[in-house]
Amino acid sequence: MTELLYESDKSYDGRMWAYHELFAHLRSGGVLISDDIGDNAAFRDFCEANDIQPEIVSFEGKYVGVFIKD
């Protein structure tokens, strides 16, 4: 996969499960985008655990996380 937009289960556990699954199928150079990351720390925790430097975009009080897989 080259691009993924995660907009499903917003719970911490749901996101962590999905990020691991999606990351495994994301090819090198692929982009993962996740909306509403301010709801909990799952995106941050996943990125820290996998040494990923994400970009965070703020829009109207909401936060979107984006990263490119090495």
pLDDT at 12: 98
Which CATH number applies to 3-68: 3.40.30, 3.40.50, 3.30.110, 3.30.2310? 3.30.110
Q: Tens of pLDDT along 1-25?
A: 789 899 889 999 999 999 999 999 9
Q: Tens of pLDDT along 17-50?
A: 999 999 999 999 999 999 999 999 999 999 999 9
* Model confidence at 63: pLDDT above 90: yes
Q: What is the pTM of this model?
A: 0.92
Q: What are the residue boundaries of the structural domains of the chain, listed by start?
A: 3-68
Give CA–CA dist 33/27, Å, rounded: 14
Could you give the count of Cα atoms lying within 13 Å of 2 in the half-sphere of its Cβ? Answer: 0
H helix intervals, 1-70: 12-25, 42-49
Enter the tokens of residue 22.
């999606």
